[in-house]
Amino acid sequence: MTTSDTAPSPRPAPRKGAELELAFSDLLANGQGVGRSGGLVVFCFGPLPGETARVRITEVKARYAVAEPLAILRESPARAQPFCPVFGACGGCQLQHLAYNAQLEWKRTTVLAALQRIGGHTGAVVNPTIGMEDPRNYRNKMSLVVDRAQDPPGFGFYRQRSHAVVPIDSCPVVTPKLNGDLHALHAARGNPAVAAMLGDARHIVARSSNASGASVLTITGMQESADVRRAAPVLMHDVPRLAGVTNSFDLSSANAILGRRHRLLAGDAEIEEAIGGVHYRVSAGSFFQVNVAMVAKIFDYLAPRLTPPRRIVDLYCGVGTFSLFFAKHGWNVNGIEENARAIDEAQANARRNGLEHLVSFTKGRVEQVAAAPRFQHALRAADVLFLDPPRKGCDEATLRAIAEVRVPALWYLSCDPATLARDSKFLVANGYRLGTVQPFDMFPQTGHVEAFAELEYR
């Protein structure tokens, strides 16, 4: 009898509609558990690594299948009870069913795996993730979708992987002030002016301040709206501690949440926030971090590195969140940011803190400005280069300009482990050495992870 005579026949690939028991071994950033059946990877939202679940196949592709959960047959000890009634439907959170300490470890291993697999950093050192004392009620900004399926129109968030709306009347990850605003907006729907406004609106973007307890609202529509203008005084009266209302319009695309143009309709467009002794004025649409408490922890982590004061270039500086923190410690700062409105806010914030003599801001696309000969002297004079790019990371032109100038130290704050791994691979191949990487839990209950990497030129 040969081995082939006794070997079990391969399990057939699952068909759509089939129900089966699967063991799950991994977890994706979007909250989907990863199992395998019949040579196919099976993705299913709900099961955690180490769990066995009964699932129903809903979609079959050439290389993978998608399933819906029917029952968890064997639970992981890391499983937690979700605290939001719409978890699993709303697309905002992906990890509420995973205990918080397990979330922090999962994020550390996610960063480490990306550095090893994508970056080729076999000896990478990734510290334990710095988390929050209370991983709820941290978001200082929410973007509500106007839900016209309700009468009068209500509010919600987008459903997972869909533009359908999940109606909500509260959210456990936004600040208590924003939840109060949400309750007040629901109560105001019965006012004819507010109901008319909602007939025109696509989104309502709200931002709150931990420092002042105030908030601002931006109502977004396809075009400037007289109904929004008429509703603004009602909102100022009905929403406690509302500092101002603006109308955002002229959308760049059908999926845009904020428009390219803004009109102040009532009160003040900005509120004040304070982190690490720096005061900021920010609007609902500002490029400003949504988790003030975690930004303060990043400041604390950076503070020991800021003595003595030196020169730093801040790429992707936004409204100057980090630039002004560096200047507060006596550093000379050059910031680059392509958004003109963010540059205006950064300059105003520098004047507000009396730091304008230590900072200068340049408007332009980072890859163009950093490679321009006129900016090379600033890079060559810098002791440190700070990078806080968008999720797509840095383009190769920017990385090549950095490598050619050979800035002694790079501080890279990333919101995507994959692009951090990719960019650091290029930099290491061009003379830099990767040091310790420190993850921060900027977005608890979600699959997003922030990581700070230090690189030095060899």
Active site residues: 415
**Distance between CA atoms of residues 217 and 245, nearest Å:** 5
What crossing angle do the helices spanning 226-238 and 176-188 adopt, rounded to 10°?
A: 120
Residue with tokens 């590195």: 305
**Distance between CA atoms of residues 329 and 333, nearest Å:** 11
Q: Helix, strand, or coil here: 10?
A: coil
Residue type at 393 in one-letter notation: G
Strand runs labelled E in 190-252 = 203-208, 215-220, 242-249
**Distance between CA atoms of residues 331 and 326, nearest Å:** 5
Question: Which residues, 6 or more positions from 133, have their beta carbon under 8 angstroms from its beta carbon?
Answer: none
Q: Are 444 and 103 in contact (CB under 8 A)?
A: yes
Question: Which residues, 6 or more positions from 1, have their beta carbon under 8 angstroms from its beta carbon?
Answer: none
Neighbours of 377 (CB within 10 A): 10
Question: Helix, strand, coil % (nearest 5) of the chain?
Answer: 30, 30, 40
DSSP for 349-372, please give it: HHHHTT-TTTEEEEES-HHHHHHS
Using alpha carbons, select from 391, 392, 402, 395 the residue that is nearest to residue 448. 391
Residue type at 412 in one-letter notation: Y
Torsion of CA 172, 176, 180, 181, to 10 degrees: -90
Question: What is the separation of C-alpha 46 from the centre of its chain, rounded to a whole number of angstroms?
Answer: 22
**Distance between CA atoms of residues 353 and 326, nearest Å:** 12
**Partners of 68 in the β-ladder:** 56
| H or E segment to which residue 345 belongs | helix 340-352
Q: Which two tokens stand for residue 361?
A: 């801001």
**Distance between CA atoms of residues 412 and 202, nearest Å:** 35
Q: Which two tokens stand for residue 264?
A: 């102040």
Question: Which residues, 6 or more positions from 240, have their beta carbon under 8 angstroms from its beta carbon?
Answer: 180, 184
Name the phi and psi angles at 34, rounded to 5: -120, 120
